[in-house]
Amino acid sequence: MLEIPIEGGIESTTSVYTLDSQRLPETHADTAALLPRAPGANVNRNGPLTGIAQYRGMYGDRVNTSIDGMYTLGACPNGMDPPLSYIPRSQLSSLTVIRGIAPVSSGAETIGGSILASTRRSQFSSGETVTPGLELSTGAASADTSRFFDTMASVANRSHRLHVFGSREKGDNYKFADGTVKPTRFQRDTFGSGYGFRSGKHEISLDLRRNETDPTGTPALPMDIVDTNATLAEGEYRGELNGYQLHGKIYWTNDNHKMSNYKLRSVPITRLNNASSDGAGYRFDSGFAFGTGQLSVGADGRLAKHNATILDPVNNPAFRIVNFNDVKRDVYGFFVEWNGALARDWNVQVGARYNRVLMDAGAVAATVPPANALQTRFNDADRSKTDDNLDLVARLTHPLSSRLTLEVEAGRKTRSPSYQERYLWLPLEATGGLADGNIYIGDIDLDPEVAYEIGTGFDWHTRQYYFEPRVFYRYVDNYIQGVPATDPLAIAFNPSVLQYANVDATLYGGDAPWGIALNDNWSLDGVVSYVRGKRDDISDNLYRIAPLNGRATLTYRRNNWWTAAEGVAYAHQHAVSKTNRETKSGGYQLLNLRAGIELARNLVLNAGVDNVFDKEYADHLSGINRVSGTDVPLGERLPGYGRNYYASLQLRYN
């Protein structure tokens, strides 16, 4: 059976979660839709391809989300192209969610956790004979009349591997119980190639990926995607020399993104935004035996440059706002991490990381006269900033019995401001996908966020049962949050503007996967997650936090077929942000049915129906409708998909 693993960590001290294909509904094209099946994880959705990862109440830039070890640099200032939008579901090999406090080795800025995605690639064979391979998959769904086709062809032997791949996904506006959500049409083409060479204990690989997204709706944002054209290239080395594990990676990304408010919706004032990003990165690390454990040391870095210009080519060709000009955000990191045994049955992971964050921005301009004072102030300011950040992590595991293992962890994590939070000089909605409908302005002098977190839990496993609960408490000093502006120039431009500022915040909660093997054929598995986020400086809640939620799946398996019923439940969310003018949401429950059969060797048919009772509901994280004249009232939370029938066919030959 085709499987996608969701792992709880990159070391043996944490758990691994595997999702079978019956848990992978075809309802959403976005890979981020898988995240709610991992404990503590969820997704903020602004459109069909714009799922922004959330983990334990933190999301966006606070969560380190990488693809094949690359920091994927989106071009859109409003987060229309988040990292997971670069991987179609059909090209995903694994999705790793590190539970709890992320190890320092997992990424540079991991204050909100780490999510590591890997794409499908060709594999070396065991002999000298060249072996061909072919993978094909196709499918369709009813709620958005979507369809997809994906293929990968490869040749490999023990020393060489080569593959090419391509996919196309296309869908229309999706339906819910009382109408259609517009605009939610989408189209995405992804293609590329890769080569690997192996000799003894040494391996190198080269990979190239191209992502082309055509007009795609984002009704929770002020604009929609016109097109996104992104190229990702990487080279990697892995090897062993005299007992030292060696690894090196370099990569380059380029993204050109265009969005508008008039291509897919009707508006009285037309705007077009041309945005781009260029990025590069590296990572060099080594692991070797040290004392009673393994020591890892490494250096990594990522360099980013952003530009964005707002135009009005329809009604006013002279209109121009240079929103972000040559904005640079470079991160250079060094880390050391040790995994080993302090004593018998007492295993520890300790790590330290130093990050230097260098930021700067070029001069801006606008043809809007009320912006003159803000423009002059920004251009005259010292825009160059340097942050020196320190992360510390310690995790202890101890088996209390053959079935029960205790885990305790503590950490200090940091994050410097995003380029929007620091360099948004004119009150606009370029907020990295925050999508609260407010106008924001940045602050060059923001301090980095510093989080202090503790957590504990246990893993209980028997032949028939498993239960892995965790609880956590996180205090964030200098949490970056929009507050009512007191700046007279910003208020003169827009009286209701919010300004990014440093406040204090607390997040706490718990999550747990669980399961029961009822007999050789029947099993019941599930996950439950809860997080609470509060401001400490005033009596208010943090914005866009997932409510208590869980799911349970009853599965029946035979030799070559399976069937499953999944129940999904979300509680109401009444702990909302008054500052962000967030509205409360109601709870809901859904029933999903799915099944699969192996028709022949390596030929699998999957089919199912989600939201069996065609229930009308709205996920608290789904965003607020910004499009007038549709079946969803303006300002209402976007509803979830209605009853959705889907089927997919997967063929593998090698």
Indicate the pLDDT class of residue 27, thresholds 50, 70 and 90: low
The per-residue pLDDT for 360 is: 98
Stated as kind and residue range, the H or E segment containing 422 is helix 419-423
The per-residue pLDDT for 25 is: 54
In a domain, 258, yes or no: yes
The rounded distance, in Å, linking the Cα atoms of 322 and 426 is 10
In a domain, 229, yes or no: yes
Per-residue pLDDT tens digits for 328-339: 999 999 999 999
Task: For Cα atoms 637, 638, 644, give the angle at the middle one, nearest 5 degrees.
Answer: 145
Structural contact between residues 650 and 604, judged by C-beta atoms closer than 8 angstroms? yes
Flag whether pLDDT at 10 surpasses 50. no
The model's pTM is: 0.95
Mean pLDDT of the region 431-450: 96
**Residue 219: other Cβ atoms inside 10 A:** 25
Per-residue pLDDT tens digits for 456-474: 999 999 999 999 999 999 9
Beta pairing, strands 470-484 & 449-461: antiparallel
**Residue 368: other Cβ atoms inside 10 A:** 14
Q: Which residues contact 235 (CB under 8 A, 6 or more apart)?
A: 204, 205, 206, 207, 249, 250, 251
Per-residue pLDDT tens digits for 94-124: 888 999 999 999 999 999 999 989 999 999 9
Q: DSSP secondary structure string, 514-555?
A: EEEE-SSSEEEEEEEEEEEEEESSSS-B-SS---SEEEEEEE
Per-residue pLDDT tens digits for 569-614: 999 999 999 999 999 999 999 999 999 999 998 999 999 999 999 9
The mean pLDDT value of the chain amounts to: 93
In a domain, 448, yes or no: yes
Indicate the pLDDT class of residue 72, thresholds 50, 70 and 90: confident
In the block, tokens 């714009």 appear at: 50
**Residue 221 burial class via C-beta count within 10 angstroms: exposed 0-12, middle 13-18, buried 19 and up:** buried
The per-residue pLDDT for 465 is: 95
Structural contact between residues 372 and 394, judged by C-beta atoms closer than 8 angstroms? no
In a domain, 345, yes or no: yes
What does DSSP assign to residue 430? Answer: -
In a domain, 317, yes or no: no
Name the residue among 211, 183, 218 with its Cα closest to residue 429.
218
The rounded distance, in Å, linking the Cα atoms of 384 and 358 is 8
Per-residue pLDDT tens digits for 498-547: 999 999 999 999 999 999 999 999 999 999 999 999 999 999 999 999 99
Indicate the pLDDT class of residue 14, thresholds 50, 70 and 90: very low
The per-residue pLDDT for 16 is: 42
**What is residue 370's three-state secondary structure?**
helix
The per-residue pLDDT for 95 is: 87
Per-residue pLDDT tens digits for 350-404: 999 999 999 999 999 999 999 999 999 999 999 999 999 999 999 999 999 999 9
Residue 111 CA to chain centroid, in angstroms?
14
CATH number at residue 423: 2.40.170.20
What's the domain count of the chain?
1
In a domain, 297, yes or no: no
The per-residue pLDDT for 12 is: 40
Domain that holds residue 415: 3-235+251-274+282-290+304-312+324-653
Structural contact between residues 598 and 560, judged by C-beta atoms closer than 8 angstroms? yes
**What is residue 181's three-state secondary structure?**
coil
The per-residue pLDDT for 5 is: 45
Flag whether pLDDT at 165 surpasses 70. yes
Q: Which residues contact 206 (CB under 8 A, 6 or more apart)?
A: 194, 195, 196, 234, 235
Mean pLDDT of the region 174-187: 96
Mean pLDDT of the region 622-629: 93
In a domain, 318, yes or no: no
The rounded distance, in Å, linking the Cα atoms of 11 and 105 is 10
